[in-house]
Structure 1
């Protein structure tokens, strides 16, 4: 189990809609991750199960999309992930000891686009 390294990705327009399924397809194509996830695909997520790293379903909290050919963090994706780690939609099934690092990762992006994470308000 592991939290991905903070990538400090550029931020997409705050008004950009979030469609996780469509973003996942674009990220897979951009990362050239056809048959299995790779490091580029991993960078678009916040957390993954290291014991199943070659399985796409092991990756959680996709927060980035391909915009103009570049990988960018999408504020609405961060907000969606932030809500989930704060308990929305029943929360998420990851080890409790990983949650502080997941929250710290997300909080860095909240700060980057001028907002405060829900658990810090």
Structure 2
């Protein structure tokens, strides 16, 4: 069995760390956020769909990013009613899935903060 020299181990470690640092750069996150938004808007099936907030990335153990998307239901019987979907984007598979999220209510942040005091 061949042993790696300490210098080789250090170089390999540095290369791995450099790759990890690049993957987490602001530019990489920005590109990820754009990919999530595009995939989630498309998966939503809503007319005039747009992100209704910022993407929320779960840790790598979960591997998902969530995004709330708002738009209008395209079905004639829905009469262009406003609607929302919650999208989960699988970072490994690069796929988005959605579920209706009209039941989510958004309380103002200030009101929530005052209630905790």
Normalised by the length of structure 2, the TM-score is: 0.23
Highest Rg: 1 or 2? 2
In proportion to residue count, which structure has more strand? 2
Using CA pairs under 8 Å that are at least 6 residues apart, name the structure with larger relative contact order, 1 or 2. 1
Normalised by the length of structure 1, the TM-score is: 0.23
